[in-house]
Amino acid sequence: MEFYVDIADLESIKKVAEYYPIDGFTTNPKILTKEAGKVEELIPQYREFAEKNDVKVFFQVTVEKAEDMLAQAKKLKAYYGDHLVVKLPAIKESYKAVRLCKAEGICVCVTVVHSMTQALLAAKAGADFVAPYISHIDNIGADGVTAVEEMVMAFENGGYPCKVLGASFRTTDQIRRLATVGCQAVTITPEMFDLLIAHASTDASMEGFRKAWKETFGEKQVSDFIPE
């Protein structure tokens, strides 16, 4: 499974990458507004980070006509090269734009997906990723994990090489369940990365190790027993 950081703050991205293996980071227009006043200086820093770490960077277009989407995508592609994944919202114009972008060799993610049929047409159009919003799907009375499972099965049955990129999570259990149904990628907040490895039993075991060692060896460390 691929793991992406869902944030535009570069320092947060770097901190996550320091500890966890990531495949890149995802942004959208709303996320980028949180960096208002810094976007111009962040744009080249994003590229430097992507090139240095060989990861993907996701940018969403901010126009709604297919030809305009293509124009923005081409400009982003010229700057970020093969590190770019351009995000197109699951609206009618985007299904045309997917094919236009793919003809130019641009990697595409159809985003804000809320149904399997939206995802299916995106995959057939040639999208490289579809991004269903798991908790949003739950909010409208469906089941986000089941929706992803249907997408994965439909893509396999249709022979579409499109990856499902799960987004919008409330719990780590949603991510666990996605992994079991074949979801290929997720994008999550920095806080969610920490929650994925947190476990009370692990903490209790560590406390037991510390106590036993200190009671037996005091301040010595295991490396102290290695002969010079």
Catalytic residue list? 87
Q: Whole-angstrom Cα distance, residue 207 to residue 218?
A: 15
Contacts 24+ apart (CB under 8 A), 81-85: 82/107, 83/24, 83/47, 83/50, 83/51, 83/54, 83/55, 83/56, 83/57, 84/56, 84/57, 84/59, 85/24, 85/56, 85/57, 85/58, 85/59, 85/109, 85/128, 85/129
Structure-block tokens of residue 78: 């010229």
Q: Is 83 buried (19+), middle (13-18) or exposed (0-12) by CB count in 10 A?
A: buried
Q: Which two tokens stand for residue 21?
A: 């293996």
Question: What one-letter code names the amino acid at 193?
Answer: F
Encoded tokens for 56 = 């993907």
